[in-house]
Every structure is written in C-alpha cells, then in structure tokens.
Chains A and B, each alone.
Chain A
Amino acid sequence: MQPLFPATLLVLVPLLPLVGAICTVLLGRRLGPRAHLPAVAGIAGAAAVALILLLTTYAEVGHGGAHSEPVRPVEMITTLWQWASVEGTPAGEGLTSGAQQGFSIPVTLRLDPLTATLLVIITGVGLLVAIYSIGYLHDDPGYPRFFALVSMFVFSMSMLVAASNFLLVYVFWEAVGACSYLLIGFWYSKPEAARAAKKAFLVNRVGDFGLAIATFLLWMTYGTLNFHDTPNSAIEGILSQTRLADPGGIVGGVIGTAICLLLLLAACGKSAQMPLHVWLPDAMEGPTPASALIHAATMVTAGIYLITRCAPLFVACPGALAMVSIVGATTALVAALIATVQNDLKRVLAYSTISQLGYMFASLGTGTMLGFTAAIFHLVTHAFFKALLFLGAGSVMHAMGGVIDMRRFGGLRKVMPITAATFLIGSLALSGVPPFAGFFSKDEILATLHAKAYPSAHAQEHGDLPVAAGADRSPLHLAAYSSDAHAATPAGAAVGLDSLNTPAVWQTLFWMSLVTAGLTAFYTFRAVFMTFTGPVRVPPEAGHHAHESPPVMTWPLIILAVPSVLAGWLLFSTDALAHFLSATPSLWAESVRHTATPLEFHWDLAIQGTLAAAIGIAVAAIGHLGRRSDLPQMERYLGPLEPLFANKFYFDQIYQALIVKPLEGLALLAALFDRSVIDGLVDGVARIPVALGSLVRNMQSGLLQRYALAGVMGVLAIVYALAWQLRG
C-alpha cells in the first residue's frame, strides 16, 4: 500500500507544468500579453507541491542529529501505467534472464530525498525565471512560445529526476535536450542562434548515444531497466533496496566499467564536460532567462543527477570513478582559464558554469558519501547563485539594449543599483568567499578531494572506524569480489583504468581544483569590476532607457540573493542536506554508506580556499577595479597563452577539422553516389514497368473480336500446356 497523498502530489509536479504548456500552446495567441499566466501558474503550483513533497520526505527521513540511529532508505514508487509490455519466453532457451522475464516499461515515478531536492530546485528556479521573463520578454513576438517551452522544460526535467526507469530517463533526457534546442534557437531567424541550437543538439546527441548504449548494456546485464523492484518479478531493480543491500548485487568488471563510462559520456554531453563542453558557451545565444534556467541551474545538472543516481554502479568500478574526477577537475581548470579572457558577460558565466559543473564531477568521482553529498550541495547552492548571476546579466543586457560585451559598458552600479548589489552577492558566492553559499559547498568538495589525495592525514585526524572501515573494504576491493561473483570476465580486465586510482592522481586533482578556485574568483570579479565599476559608460543601443530593470525582474534577483547568502551556512552547519540525501536508496547502498564520515570543518582547507579566492579577487582588482573596461588589462601579461585561452583551447577548430569536415566530405560523397548511381538505378528500374505497360497497351485494341480471340487462344494454350505437363 502506498500512501495516496504523496503519490498524487508527485504526479502533480510534472503534470501542472505540462497542463500549463498545453494551455499556452492552445490559448497563447488569444491571451496575448497575458500568455505567461498558464505557464507561471502551472510552475508555481508545481513549486508549491514540490516544497510540500520535500517537507514530507524530510519528515520521513527524520533529523538524524549526530547520526544517533542509522538512516533508513526512503523512497516511494508510483506506477502510473504500463507503457509497453512484452511477454517473456519460456525458460531454458539460452536467453538471458531478462528475455525470459519479458520486457516491460512501466511509467513509474519515484520520490526519494535526491528527487525531492532536485524537484524543489527545478520548480523553484523555474518559477523565478518564468516571473523574470514576464519583464524580460515583454514585447517579444515569441512571448507565448517562450512560456510554453519553459513550462514544457519544467515538465520534462521533473520527469527526468522523478522517473524510476532508465528508459524513461532516456526519454526525458532527450526531451530536455529538445526543449534546450528550441530555447537556444528561440530567435531562430538569427543565424548564430540557429547554429548554436544545432550545435548544442548535435553535441548532446553524442552523449545521448552513450546513454542509449548504457541502457542496452544495463538491460543485458540486469534484465530490467527499473530502478525499483518490480512486483511479481524475480528480478531486482537495478537500484532497488534489495539489490543495494547485497554487497555483490552490482556488476563490476569490464561490463560495469563500460556502463559507467557510457553513463559518464552521457553526463558529459548534458553537463557540458570535456570533451563535449563546446555547446554550452554558444548556447548563450538563447534568451537569458532560458540560459539561467536550463544552461545554468537545472538541465546541465542532469549529468550530476545521473551519476549520483547511479552511484552504486560507479562505486563498483573505481576506474570509471577516477575518470569522472579527472574529467571534472580538468574541465573545471580549462573552463576557468578560458573564462579569464572572455569579454562577453554571458560567456564568462557560461564557462564558469562549465567550471563549476567540473567541480561537481570531481567531487562525484571520489566515490565517497561526502563526495556525492558535496556535489549535490554544490549543485543546490550553484543553482541559486548562478541563476542569480545569469538573471543579473540578463538585467544588464536588458538595460543595455541587448549589448553584452563588457568592453562597451561600465560603471553600471550607479545606473542599476539593485542589479549591481545582487550580482555582487552572486559573485561572492561563486568565488567562494565566506560566509556566502559557494564557500561552504566548494569547501566540502575540496575536503572530499583532499581526503582522497591524503588518506593518511584524514585517517590520523579521525583515528577511528569510518575511514578504517573504508580502507579495509576499499571500492577496488569491492569491485574485485563483486565481479568475481557476477561477471564472467576477470576483474583484471578493467585494470587499465583502475590504475588511475592512485594518491598521486588525486593529489594532482586536488591542486588543480584549488587553482581553479583562485581563477574562479579572478574571472568573476574581473566581470564585476568591468561591468559595475569605473566611469559610467552606456552603449548607444541602450538609447534612453538605460535604467534599472522593472520590479518583475529585480524581485527574482532579490529572492535569489537570499539563498545565495544563507543556503551554504544553513545547510552546512546543520548537516541537514547530507543527512537527508543519505536516505536516498542509491546513496544508502552498502558500498556508499560505509564511506560516510562524520561532519568535519577543515580549517586548513577553508583557509586555503579563502586564500585562493582572495588572491583571485586581488588580482582582478589590480587589473580592473575602477578602470575603463574597454582597455586591455590583464590579457597583456598572459603573453603567448592569451590566444590559446581566447580561442578556447582550439576545441572548436579541432572538432571542425577532425570530425565535421571529414563527415561533410563523406556526406558529399554519399550524396553524389545517391544522386548519380542510386537514383539512376531506381529511375532505370522504374522505366521497366512503363515499357512493359506500353507493350501490353498495344493489345488493348478495343476490338471485341480480338479480345475474344485472344481470350480463347489463351485458354487453349493453358489447357494444352497442362495436358502436356500431365503426360510428362
């Protein structure tokens, strides 16, 4: 028996935005300037429901205090209907257990702490963005279309995090991609926007391909795609409590590593990690509210969600886990370096998003409880302050008549004080300055990496059970015996990747992250100083309305500024989020749970991180504080590195030369072949019946006698042939 109350509410979260989207599509033109009403109402309803769900789930988990009693896993499964169902084959035909069991895709929603947290973020930020857009897009011809798409996106994204089945995850993974495509190309008549949308879609397809193959492999390996246990079925769900309670339940080895790497590829596509990060900066061609919602706060975190959800799978494959961290830390550093020389305010923020997502990946890759919760913690705080920064940038852009190049304006703190103040708060949070939100979450990530890089130090520090237990049953160890138990392939086959899991590697990653922290502070404050300090300069495009944005736009900024200041300290000091998330079945799994460490505030790391941020801000202040933003400042000190950063490490050019051009050549060849050879063949074949037809037509003389004669002769011929054949 499932309690009716949360089940119905859970359905409402995606349903209300969907209804809103449909209403907007149907009534959009009739509503005219009020076309935002259904979408805003739908998302607001969903946000309220999501909040109730969060509180319900929180009450269910209970407040653990000082880990007085072990956390129970909390999840609620609601199966709405069977989407597809194929009966199984009788056993004993040499098929996998899955084929014998048949194949069914239930449309199942789940509610657990992870989902509840993300639902609140999605609907909450979605609501603020939707309200903000009322002002931002007030006279755009595509006004109703925008709200329909945002509403549709909120629906798809909520379904993505609420789905309890890999196939549904795939479906909505694609759906959010489609919404993102449509929103990037919102101003489709602008060639750059159309191109950026296409690029985003195609690069994402590479990741989606990974998810598709991973789904196939998962089905082959586990015989089901459900996260949860299916009633009346012997097969345990992949991420169900029964399987996760069993230490050997998850398949490691080559297959496990392959699945994890493919999932990582998918996550890289959606979360814009190297080498698939190239689409996100270009995606800034879309409307700024869409960038804030989709390309900063929610959709790009789908990769983080996917890996967190699949945490037990990754923990069983330490090689893949190390890859996650390596990809994340590298992306974080590279994106931060690129961000230092960008002059487009939105692009600075875009690279910063890539960089911060890289942080989260680095944290996930540690494979410890702290790593996963820290990543989600950072996801939450980042959603607030990055949405704030994007909306602030949008506010600037709105006031500047669409100009976003930081060299063309300056000193705006006098023109738009609210935007300036909130943007500063967001920047402080992003830079990791205490006590703003970003400081705490970033500190946790650094602590996680530090623990992985210098395990002995931490072991001494704690000196007791948890880490000792972790060392005793290291993930590597786990993978070895789980693969012995389940996979036919030897565990040693994945050793190539597993060898990455050494302290030296982790130490490198830790220091990379620390450097990135400094760079983050630098580029953030470079943008702040260039935009808001110095002499007031306004581009001609702004005309006369270079003024503060209307209240409908500034209020979301103010609302978002509050959690950007407070969320970090609140969630950290109470340890509420980590405790809450650890009741998620995926994180409750035996292999993850044993890595849990008690809450600890690392003064040394905090000081290191703050120092890095302070250095970054100081350097930015030296270069840009109070100066005219159109003069080159820091860039001239970079020397030969400047073109490397400015050209984004030449990723686009390399892809163009290595992938796009050869494919275009191949396509050209194929087209030529199709037009000349295939079409020629087909046309030639098509001429045969016509020629036959004109031959037959000659017999249609219209003369009765000839018809009769031909008929009778035909009969005689047949009779004769038959008689002849019968005689032998």
Chain B
Amino acid sequence: MTTSLETFLLIAPEIALVVAALVVFLAGAFANLQSGWPVAVAGIAIAMFLSGGTPDDGGTVTSGPVSIDGFSLGVRWLVLVLGGILALVQSGDTFRTATSRSGTALRWGTCEEAGTFLLLLAGLSLVGVANDLVLLFAGLELVSIPTYILLALKRIDARGQEASLKYFFLSLVASALFLYALVCLYGIGGSTSLAEISARLRSPDDRLAGMATVLLPVALGMAMSGAAFRLAAVPMHFYAPDVYEGTSPGNAALLSTLPKVAGIVVLLRLLALGTGGAFGMAGAQAAVAGPAATAYMTLFWQLAAILAGLTMTVGNVMALLQTNLRRLLACSSIAHAGYLLVGVATAAAADSALSGRLVPGTDTSWTSGLGGSSATLFYLATYVLATAGVFAALTYLGHRWPEWSATAGSRPPREEISTVDDLNGLSGTNPVAACSIALFLLSLAGIPPLPGFWGKLSLAITALEVDWNSSATWGSRRAAFLALAILLVINAAIAAAYYLRIIAAMYFRSTKRGVQADGGIAAGLAMLICMALLIVVTFQPRGLFAASSRAGRVISAPTGTLVAPQVVSP
C-alpha cells in the first residue's frame, strides 16, 4: 500500500471541500467575511466539477488507502447533491430568540458553521472511497466531530446544549464500539486494507473458521452498533428524538440525512468484505468463498434483519404518539433506518443464485437486476431527498405569531414552529410550503407514485426475491425475508397515520395565526429544489434506479460459489 500523487488526484473533490473549508475559516477570522455559505456552495460546486461524470461500470481504481469504484462515485454524488441542498438549508437556519428579532446579533457563527459543514461533507465522501480501516475510521470521525460543533454552535440555549452533549457522549460510545469492531477485523485479516481482509476472509482456509466463530460475532455486533448509532437504529436510537427536538430544524435536517448516509455506506463497505465485489477480485480468487465468508454473510443478514424489524416497528409506534414535529420526524427517521436495514439484510443474503441475475448492462427493466444494495441506495436517495425537503420547509417557515388580539396588551414574542398544531391551516397561509411538505410526507409514507413508493416497492421486491425458488418453511431464509417484507408493509401502513395527521393539520384545520416564513430565501429554494427532484424521480424513476443499480452492483458483485456454512467448534 503506497500513497502516491495518484491517490491525491483520486480524492480531489474531497480535497477541494477541505480547501474550501480552510478558506472559509480563514476568511471569517481575518478577512471579515460576513457569510460563509456562498463559499461553501461554491466549494461544493467545485467538488462536483472535479468528481466528473457518472461512475463507470465495473472499473475499480485503487491507490493507497483509496479505492474509486461505482459505489464510491455514487456515494460522492449523493453526498455532494445532498450537501448542496443542506448548505442552503443551513444558511437560513440561525437561532434567533424573541429578543433579537432581526437575528443579526447571533449570525456571528456563520463562517465557522460553513467550514465545519464542508469538513463534514469531505469526511462522508472519504468514507465512500476508503479502502482501508484507518481511512474509514478517520472519515467517520470527520463526520462526527463537525456534527458536534454544528450542534453546539447553532443553539446556545439550555435545550440546545443538552442535545449537543447527549449526541456527543453517545456518539463517542458508538465510535468506540465501532473502533473495536475494526480491531477485530484487523485481527481476522492481518491487515488494515479492506481488500486484503476480504481476500483472507474469503480464502477457503479451514483454520480461519475457528477464529471466525469467536471474532466474527464480536466484530459484526460492534460494527453494526456503531453504524446503528449513525442510522439511529435500535439499540442506539434513543438519542434521536431528544436531539432533534433540542436542536434547530437545519441541524435536524443534517442529522437525519448525512449520518444515515455514513451508516449505510459503512455497512455496505463492510458487506463487500464478504462478497469481495468491491475489491476487483477475479478468477480463482472470486470463484470460491471460504466458510468464514459464508459465516460472515449469514451473521450479517441475520443481524441486519433483526435490527431492521425492531427499528422499523419501534420508530413507527413511537412516532404515532408524538406531537412535537421534530420529535415526530426523529421517530420517523428511526423507522426509515429500519427500512434501509431491510435492504442491507437483503444485500447480505444475496447469494450466487441471486447475483447471477445481475448481468451488467442488460437490466432494462428495473425489477430485474436490482439487488438489495441497489435497492438500499435507491431508498436512501429518496429518503434523504424527502427528509431534507421537510426540514428545509420547516427552516424556511421559521416562526409564527402566537394568538393575540389588540386588546390583550402588548404583542407576545414569536414562537418557533415546533408542534404539529403549529402547522394548522398552512395551506391557506403558505400554500407552496404546505403543498411541498405534503408531497415530501406522502413520499416518506410511500404513497404511489412518489419516489418513496418506488423505494419501498424495490425493497420489498428484493426482499421477496431472496431464495425465491425455495419454499418458505419455518426458520428458512425465505421465511425470514417474507416476514421482513410483510413487516415493512405493515409499518408503512402505520407510518401513513402520523404523516397524514400532519397533512390533515395543514389542509383541514384553520388558524388565525400567521406564519413568518423568516427562514430565508435559501431554505425556501432548497425546499423547491427538493420538490423538483422529487417530481422528476416520481415521473422518471428509471434514471435514479440505473444510478443506484450501478453503485449497488459493486457491492453485490458475483460472489462465486459460497461454501455451505460449517459448524466448527473452537
């Protein structure tokens, strides 16, 4: 593993992000730059320019700890587009108390916020390209640490501080657990290179099996927990409602999207260790997978499936009782982490029979050839689009006046829009925002023909395709995935209840209280961009399907013959 100039060329977009971050930091401190967000958006645009066109099919370029393939390019594009939207949201999202109505007094943090945000994006993109345990972990920490700062910067009241502290400590626990998982993987592979770990894991060496029975459960359990924190999945989901409620809508937009991308990317990268797909294995090396790899994959899908079932259900039933909007959306984001884990489990269960259907270049119909990982990525994209859109709209709406009549004395201070009831009658006061929120929520609920529906449909279909030809006897893999698909559908039905409650509040209730819409034009623009993208995907989902299919195929590349799992006593 040597690092050369080529390595830096490969991660030019990430470097551009970091450079832009440095420029913002310095300009804010020394050049009296008023707002860092324009620079941030410019930096993202440059990074987009540098990352070039769409990912090529199949090719993998590895240099040092960095590996560029269809997957990492897909992730990079997702991160950059999402980053652009979130930058717009964040720029309008400043914490203003009633006393400083204009808000100018507290805009001092804008350059720091913008720079930190750029670093976060760079970290997330690095997670996508990492081909090495160290870079993977460094990337993840580069996601976490800026998040702490952003949480702490945005809100300086007690609740905001409580939220950022909660996030900080629990995130540390999760990082520690994840680091432990990486140590175990190093123990198995004897190297920090993912490709080498994969090669060793897949080697048909019986001596490995003994070690695997000890190390693999620990490694996978810890890794899954680390990812679960970022996904806000059971058992690391507790923080989400408290933190979302305590922080600003813009930060909630960030928390509900970027860490989830990180979690899914990490899980799929680790999954690729078993399939060997992402590491350009060919010939004899790819043809056979050893018992350790088989055990790894089996553990992976079982774990993901259990967490998926729990997470979906817990998130949705919790959301049913929420009246606070951000708490509700936090619970909803937990539920969506569950749906995403269904896709991860499906991807892990993909064996040669299923992978055999993934013939590159021939899948004109989206249902054939969309593996679990592709479905996950598709769902991830539709989810982040809709969620970022909702929070963009909430940021844009900002505050509203409390009920007040001229005879009742002086006008009370404005209130932040925080509960479902605060949205009452929005269709009358701000029809565009109401319509777009309704669209985002309907997409999240999975109502056809919105993108969320395509996502849930592909997740359910790929889950049902697991072991399609075998019978669903009790305890079989097919039965498990059948149950998972059914649970997904039931959960989607439960979820519709609370999404529709918000829509009903906006459209069927009336109010005398006006909405301020003081969150800035940028947030409104972000909302409209999300809506436009949503509508495009609604009517032409094939493009996004093709893109996620290209990226996902890297993970679930043909795995060769998996050797039947052998039970070896240590």
Contact = CB atoms under 8 A, between A and B. Distances in A.
Contact of A692 (B173, B307, B313): B313
Interface stretch (A306-314, A658-666, A716-724): A716-724
A86 interface: no
Interface in B168-186: 169-170, 173-174, 177
Interface string B453-469: 00000000000000000
B241 interface: yes
Contact of B314 (A696, A719, A722): A696
A711 B229 contact: yes
Contact of A704 (B170, B216, B217, B236): B170
A707 B170 contact: yes
A371 to B, nearest CB: 52
B303 interface: yes
A715 B177 contact: yes
A692 B221 contact: no
Contact of A726 (B169, B295, B319, B497): B295
B302 A722 contact: yes
Query: What is the interface of chain A mostly: helix, strand, loop, or mixed?
Result: helix
A275 to B, nearest CB: 42
B295 A711 contact: no
B317 A692 contact: yes
Contacts of A726: 213, 216-217, 295, 299, 567
A465 B13 CA distance: 93
Interface string A38-69: 00000000000000000000000000000000
Q: B-side binding surface: helix, strand, loop or mixed?
A: helix
A693 interface: yes
A711 B236 contact: yes
A725 B235 contact: no
A710 B310 CA distance: 14
A704 B165 contact: yes
B238 A711 contact: yes
B154 to A, nearest CB: 20
A696 B299 CA distance: 27
Contacts of B415: none
B234 interface: yes
Interface string B317-337: 111110000000000000000
A728 B567 contact: yes
B141 to A, nearest CB: 19
B173 A711 contact: yes
B225 interface: yes
B235 A711 contact: yes
A23 B14 CA distance: 58
B201 to A, nearest CB: 15
A503 B411 CA distance: 96
Nearest to A694: B321
B148 interface: no
B2 interface: no
Nearest to B240: A700
Interface string A81-97: 00000000000000000
Contact of A711 (B170, B313, B314, B319): B170
A706 B238 CA distance: 9
A638 interface: no
A690 B235 contact: no
A70 interface: no
A693 B225 contact: no
A719 B220 CA distance: 8
Tell which of A694, A696, A699 has the most Cβ of chain B within 10 Å: A696
A30 interface: no
Contact of A715 (B166, B225, B302, B319): B225
Given A689-B494, A694-B321, A727-B213, A722 B166 contact: no
B217 A707 contact: no
B316 interface: yes
Given A689-B320, A692-B313, A725-B302, A719 B177 contact: no
Contacts of B77: none
Contact of B221 (A696, A697, A699, A718): A718
A702 B242 contact: yes
A718 B303 contact: yes
B54 to A, nearest CB: 29
B27 to A, nearest CB: 37
Given A689-B320, A690-B317, A712-B173, A722 B220 contact: yes
A693 B213 contact: no
Given A689-B320, A707-B166, A718-B221, A699 B313 contact: no
Contacts of B494: 689
B306 interface: yes
B235 A715 contact: yes
A719 B321 contact: no
**Among the interface residues B170, B299, B494, which one has the most CB atoms of the partner chain A within 10 A?**
B494
A504 interface: no
Nearest to A702: B242
Contact of B222 (A694, A695, A708, A719): A719
Nearest to A688: B317
Given A704-B166, A707-B170, A696 B318 contact: yes
Interface string A666-706: 00000000000000000000100110111111011010101
A713 interface: yes
A728 B218 CA distance: 16
Interface string B270-281: 000000000000
Contacts of A689: 316-317, 320, 494, 497
A598 interface: no
A700 B319 CA distance: 12
Contacts of A728: 567
A706 B299 CA distance: 28
Given A711-B238, A714-B235, A719 B169 contact: no
B104 to A, nearest CB: 33
B507 interface: no
B46 to A, nearest CB: 39
Contacts of A723: 213-214, 217-218
Interface string B216-232: 11101110110001000
Contacts of B317: 689-690, 692-693, 695-696
B569 interface: yes
B302 A711 contact: no
Given A708-B170, A722-B299, A700 B238 contact: yes
A696 B173 CA distance: 22
Chain B CB within 10 Å — which of A706, A708, A713 has the most? A708
A29 to B, nearest CB: 24
Query: Taking each of B224, B225, B313, B319, which has the highest tally of chain A beta carbons within 10 Å of its own beta carbon?
Result: B225
B239 interface: yes
A693 B494 CA distance: 11
A690 B320 contact: yes
Contacts of A719: 217-218, 221-222
Contacts of A702: 242
Most buried by B among A693, A695, A697: A693
Most A CB atoms within 10 A — which of B218, B235, B238? B238
Nearest to A715: B225
Contact of A708 (B173, B224, B313): B173
Contact of B321 (A693, A712, A725, A727): A693
Nearest 3 A/B pairs, CB to CB: A714-B235, A719-B221, A693-B317
24 contacts: A689-B317, A689-B320, A695-B317, A696-B314, A704-B165, A704-B166, A704-B169, A706-B238, A707-B239, A711-B235, A711-B236, A712-B173, A712-B177, A713-B235, A715-B221, A715-B222, A716-B221, A718-B306, A719-B222, A722-B221, A722-B299, A723-B217, A726-B216, A727-B213
Given A718-B235, A727-B567, 15 more contacts: A693-B317, A693-B320, A696-B314, A696-B318, A697-B318, A702-B242, A707-B238, A711-B173, A711-B236, A718-B224, A719-B217, A722-B220, A722-B303, A726-B299, A728-B567
Interface of B: 165-166, 169-170, 173-174, 177, 213-214, 216-218, 220-222, 224-225, 229, 234-236, 238-239, 241-242, 295, 299, 302-303, 306-307, 313-314, 316-321, 494, 497, 567, 569
